[in-house]
């Protein structure tokens, strides 16, 4: 997405308030205790969702958010709070097991995310990579069996939406050409942390496309996989706490941009909800302003090089996740090898 297209979206497009009916549906939102995730939850309550699960790292913050949602919408007994820390694969595995025990899951909004310009490790990898990419995909993959079984049991089309960013256009992932992309991204000496958030969002988009392909290869409706819709989206630039820790020129630029063009968190929440109203025709796609807009993907993502990078980082991710959590490869049906 070029700078003029970005500014046009921010200044002249206001995605509509969603009006889809979510009656009977269970929707999970990671990081739903504040920001655009919280506003997406509020929309879902207005749209009759039967169950909205806030997956949050702080149960106290989650409970406070749930109370505020109940008070503002008048809907009680619909929001539940589950503990989920995206910096810990153990927490992700525990949460996924809890979700697998549910009778029905209609949609998952993978929204929890972070921005930092400082290199720190979490769960054995650079923290942004752990939170935004590695454990986000671990969770998505671990939820696939629950989504497939919901598809079969309830004859529904479950949806998984990754909250990426239009700012993925700022980087082209040169690390993919190294022997092991994830190891390179964990190498502090070779890391430009000013780019790391954008890299994580580019990886989300590439890997969401690869996950969609992997599910397609598993076959038709009988397996349930054929019904699961995977997409990624940008909410646009919205006021939130995401960039509070940005420093230096970046901090100033974000502040200025927020003053000039940012959407409200409520409008950002609309876009998250729009992404899970889409059917099979949106599978593997990227949404801008709440609509499929593949032309808003960076030239790199749409290039032959981007496709090669996508295939390689997907293989690497599956191998990495299989080491952490045996069984991942079987879920996605990828027989990847680096050699």
Ligand X SMILES: NC(=O)c1ccc[n+]([C@@H]2O[C@H](COP(=O)([O-])OP(=O)(O)OC[C@H]3O[C@@H](n4cnc5c(N)ncnc54)[C@H](OP(=O)(O)O)[C@@H]3O)[C@@H](O)[C@H]2O)c1
Residues of this chain that bind ligand X (CB under 6 A) = 31, 33-37, 56-58, 61, 84-87, 111-114, 131, 163, 165, 234-235, 237-238, 240-242, 268
Residue 106 near residue 149, CB atoms below 8 Å: no
DSSP 168: G
Q: Which is nearer to ligand X, 6 or 314 (CB)?
A: 6
Q: Which is nearer to ligand X, 124 or 241 (CB)?
A: 241
Residue nearest to ligand X (CB): 35
d(CA 110, CA 106): 13
Q: State the minimum distance, in angstroms, from the CB of residue 282 to ligand X.
A: 18
Q: State the minimum distance, in angstroms, from the CB of residue 293 to ligand X.
A: 15
CA angle 190, 182, 326 (to 5 degrees): 155
Q: Is 286 labeled as catalytic in the residue annotation?
A: no
Q: At what angle do helices 35-46 and 265-275 cross, to 10 degrees?
A: 60
Q: State the minimum distance, in angstroms, from the CB of residue 44 to ligand X.
A: 15
Residue 214 near residue 206, CB atoms below 8 Å: no
Q: Which is nearer to ligand X, 51 or 265 (CB)?
A: 265
Q: What's the number of CA atoms in the CB half-sphere (13 Å) around residue 324?
A: 23
Q: Which is nearer to ligand X, 129 or 225 (CB)?
A: 129
Q: Is 197 labeled as catalytic in the residue annotation?
A: yes
Q: Compute CA 205 distance to the chain's CA centroid, rounded to the nearest angstrom.
A: 9
Q: State the minimum distance, in angstroms, from the CB of residue 139 to ligand X.
A: 10
Query: Given 115, 148, 197, 286, which residue is catalytic?
Result: 197
d(CA 32, CA 96): 16
Closest of 208, 216, 228, 116 to residue 164, by C-alpha: 208
Q: State the minimum distance, in angstroms, from the CB of residue 135 to ligand X.
A: 8
d(CA 265, CA 48): 20
d(CA 123, CA 57): 15
Query: Given 201, 237, 278, 312, which residue is catalytic?
Result: 201
Q: Which is nearer to ligand X, 214 or 242 (CB)?
A: 242
Residue 84 near residue 112, CB atoms below 8 Å: yes
Enzyme catalytic residues: 197, 201
């Amino acid at each position: 997405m070029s700078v003029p297209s970005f500014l046009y979206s921010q200044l002249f497009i206001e995605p509509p308030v969603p009006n889809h009916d979510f009656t009977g549906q269970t929707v999970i939102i990671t990081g739903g205790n504040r920001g655009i995730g919280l506003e997406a939850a509020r929309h879902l309550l207005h749209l009759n969702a039967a169950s909205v699960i806030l997956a949050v790292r702080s149960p106290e913050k989650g409970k406070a958010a749930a109370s505020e949602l109940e008070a503002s919408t008048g809907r009680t007994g619909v929001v539940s709070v589950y503990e989920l820390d995206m910096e810990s694969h153990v927490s992700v595995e525990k949460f996924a097991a809890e979700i697998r025990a549910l009778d029905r899951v209609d949609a998952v909004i993978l929204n929890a995310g972070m921005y930092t310009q400082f290199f720190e490790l979490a769960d054995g990898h650079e923290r942004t990579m752990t939170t935004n990419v590695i454990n986000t995909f671990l969770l998505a993959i671990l939820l696939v069996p629950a989504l497939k079984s919901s598809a079969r049991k309830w004859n529904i089309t479950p949806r998984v939406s990754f909250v990426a960013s239009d700012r993925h256009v700022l980087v082209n992932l040169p690390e993919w050409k190294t022997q092991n992309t994830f190891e390179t991204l964990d190498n502090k000496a070779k890391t430009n942390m000013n780019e790391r958030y954008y890299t994580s969002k580019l990886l989300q988009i590439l890997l969401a496309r690869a996950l969609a392909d992997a599910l397609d290869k598993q076959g038709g409706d009988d397996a349930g996989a054929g019904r699961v819709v995977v997409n990624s989206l940008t909410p646009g630039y919205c006021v939130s706490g995401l960039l509070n820790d940005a420093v230096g020129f970046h901090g100033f630029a974000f502040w200025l941009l927020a003053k000039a063009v940012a959407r409200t968190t409520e409008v950002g929440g609309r876009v998250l909800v729009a992404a899970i109203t889409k059917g099979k025709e949106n599978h593997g796609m990227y949404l801008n302003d709440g609509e499929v807009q593949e032309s808003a993907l960076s030239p790199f993502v749409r290039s032959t090089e981007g496709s090669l990078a996508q295939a390689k980082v997907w293989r690497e991710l599956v191998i990495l996740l299989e080491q952490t959590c045996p069984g991942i490869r079987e879920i996605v049906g990828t027989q990847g090898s680096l050699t």
